[in-house]
Amino acid sequence: MKVEHEFGPYINKDSEVLILGSIPSLKSRELGFYYMHPQNRFWKIMGDLFNEKSLSTILEKKKFLKKNKIALWDVLESCEINGSSDSSIKCPKVNDIKGLINGTNVKIVFVTGKKAFDLYNKFCYKDVLIKAIYLPSTSGANCRVSYDDLKEKYEIIRKSVKK
């Protein structure tokens, strides 16, 4: 099924860190924001790393991102995909990452998941010229990586954010 990215990036002019996924999951598209599937561990990890008590509403998540100068978007604008399975992605059309970060302070790009990392390197790096740092997917489907291992790997984001 052909999928279009249904909501825009979350970014501010003072953003310093950009985190990219591949394309929003079915649940994220339904709810209109990033990492919204209840089994996705992204927001729990971010809350734990930054000592945030509550990141349950979209408003709380946006306030957290703004405070920590973190931007979120996806590598893909559209693709053919079965459900939310990155491994099924075909006919990818990439977002304008370079255009997004022009005029911001973004100097670090993290990419969540192998497919997003591969797509960024193949289609975006040549324009953006910021090497992406790979992070494992926080999707509940990525059960090979434990919560503690994810948290340890995602610690690099907290260390990259200037307070």
Domain boundaries along the sequence of the chain: 2-160
Cα–Cα distance between 47 and 50 in angstroms, integer?
A: 5
The catalytic site residues sit at 40
Of 9, 53, 55, 11, the residue nearest 32 (C-alpha): 9
To the question of pTM greater than 0.75 for the whole model, the response is yes
Structure tokens at 148: 């503690």
CB 79 within 8 A of CB 4: no
List phi, psi (to 5°) of 134: -75, 135
Average pLDDT over the chain, rounded to an integer = 93
Note the pLDDT of residue 163.
60
pLDDT in tens, 101-129: 999 999 999 999 999 999 999 999 999 99
β 108-112/90-94 pair status: unpaired
pLDDT at residue 5 tops 70 = yes
The architecture of the domain spanning 2-160 is 3-Layer(aba) Sandwich (3.40)
